[in-house]
Chain A
Amino acid sequence: MDARTSDAARSVLEAPDIARVLTRIAHEIVERAKGADDVVLLGIPTRGVYLARRLAARLEEITGKPGRIPVGSLDITMYRDDLRLRPARALARTEIPDDGIDGRLVVLVDDVLFSGRTIRAALDALGDIGRPRAVQLAVLVDRGHRELPIRADYVGKNLPTSLRETVKVQLTEEDGRDSVLLGLRGTTPADGK
């Protein structure tokens, strides 16, 4: 285990596992979309964006269309329903691919699916940007405890948790390593979801 993580946090996915599940999700997307011609991947900052880029790379490999899968980011801060519970947050980047999302299949990508409120906010944000043909959701980890009627279309790993536990996704681009850590509240580093 990495020295930076607390003893109480245990790794449930390591780099090879993450690579494998992303490849699987990419295949599932191609399968369900019958190709990936109109797929647009939108990652939810911060780590969802990196996952979206990795998925795009895999989709391009699978479909043999390098550089042809539009990928962007969708910041949902201004659409959150809990803004007034915390100080105003800095905004992250929203980057919509040049051709837009109208009539496309948008696949939202996030690291952890928990209450579903983030995805609710993301759907609202999407509605202000355009009108996709359909919206799907891909997540690396689904830890349960939904508070809204939302489910993921593609799940890397279903991880049953208690509310006292935290799930922390680390990605090389942001954290210097790939892993998913399960810990107890107050024991994992940074903002466990």
Chain B
Amino acid sequence: MKRHLISAADLSRDDAVLILDTAEELARLADRPIKKLPTLRGRTVVNLFFEDSTRTRISFEAAAKRLSADVINFSAKGSSVSKGESLKDTALTLEAMGADAVVIRHHASGAPHRLATSGWINGAVVNAGDGTHEHPTQALLDAFTMRRRLASGASGVGEDLAGRRITIVGDVLHSRVARSNVHLLSTLGAEVTLVAPPTLVPFGVESWPCAVSYDLDAVVGKTDAVMMLRVQRERMNAAFFPTEREYARRYGLDGDRMARMPEHAIVMHPGPMNRGMEITAEVADSDRCTAVEQVANGVSIRMAVLYLLLGGNESAVAAARTEESK
């Protein structure tokens, strides 16, 4: 695995399967009396959040703490300095504090990439969501959830998602979750179909490794998992769709549509859900909806990522330099 996790597109199939397998082992920790491993003792993980996201932050925090890392939460939102300066200055501060990994959530697409390549810091960078670009750990936990639910063998260890048909529905244009999932799921061998009104499909999507449909009903019958993306009501004001009602009718998942899915197929949602918009309460609360499971799996996936980035010597840049100087 590389030193950073910036984009799901950077992961090879073997990288991705290794992360999923590692997470599968780490998930067993939840059944133990002591839900903690000493592995990252003495390592410092900084959660650098330029955007509010309590859910993602606590997931990373729990993951780091279960691996015994020291966790510093740095909420940079509402800083008075210009946004650009504050990313660089904040990075330099974190570097001075000896951060071994920086988990960054930022409103600007590419900010984690910039942090990893600018030379401002030496630690590993983990993208916890950047603008409308990517959210790779979300895609990993989604893939993990699918593998567990859809696997032929026990929890699917060692397997990818070859031949699985995954449908991603909703605001693809503004979704970092969709971008990361398209990359990761196709790397894992799944057949991905995006379903959205044409206004919410990115211009240039034809270069993506997936199919595109404007008709949810044409797709739900032949899918192994339907992933519903959150659709913000404000998009209506920018004329992406006429009304909430029309959106829900054409692209929402209700009980009738769910009933037409194959029996084994699951419903996924990265949360937080807009009940009544992209998903009805009936579907959200059904056994087939994995939203809560996805949250639990998120901790295992983030533990796996932190372990694989920080658990060995590859990412320990500072240590490597010390050795070289001997």
Contact = CB atoms under 8 A, between A and B. Distances in A.
Q: Is there direct touching of A and B in the complex, by C-beta distance under 8 Å?
A: yes
Interface of A: 75, 78-79, 83-94, 124, 128-130
Given A83-B311, A129-B33, A90 B21 contact: yes
Contacts of A124: 38
Contacts of B314: 87-88
A129 B32 CA distance: 6
B18 A128 contact: no
A83 B25 CA distance: 17
Contacts of B312: 83-84, 86-89
A88 B34 contact: no
A94 B316 CA distance: 27
Contact of B25 (A75, A88, A130): A75
A91 B304 CA distance: 10
Contacts of B38: 78-79, 124
Interface string B8-23: 0000000000100110
Given A78-B37, A91-B22, 9 more contacts: A78-B67, A83-B39, A84-B316, A87-B313, A88-B308, A88-B310, A88-B314, A128-B33, A129-B33
Contact of B309 (A78, A83, A85, A88): A88
A177 B18 CA distance: 28
The 8 A-B pairs with the shortest beta carbon distances in the complex, nearest first, are A88-B312, A88-B311, A87-B312, A91-B25, A128-B34, A78-B39, A78-B37, A87-B314
Nearest to B307: A88
Interface residues of B, number: 25
A145 B53 CA distance: 52
Interface string B31-73: 0111011110000000000000000000000000001000000
A90 B158 CA distance: 11
A128 B32 contact: yes
A128 B92 CA distance: 37
A89 B25 CA distance: 13
Contact of A90 (B18, B33, B313): B18
Interface in B66-91: 67
A90 B319 contact: no
A94 B313 contact: no
B37 A88 contact: no
A83 B43 CA distance: 12
A78 B307 contact: yes
A91 B33 contact: no
Contacts of A94: 25, 28
Given A79-B38, A83-B39, A124-B38, A88 B32 contact: no
A94 B24 CA distance: 11
B150 interface: no
B10 to A, nearest CB: 16
A92 B36 CA distance: 17
Contacts of B26: 91
A191 B18 CA distance: 21
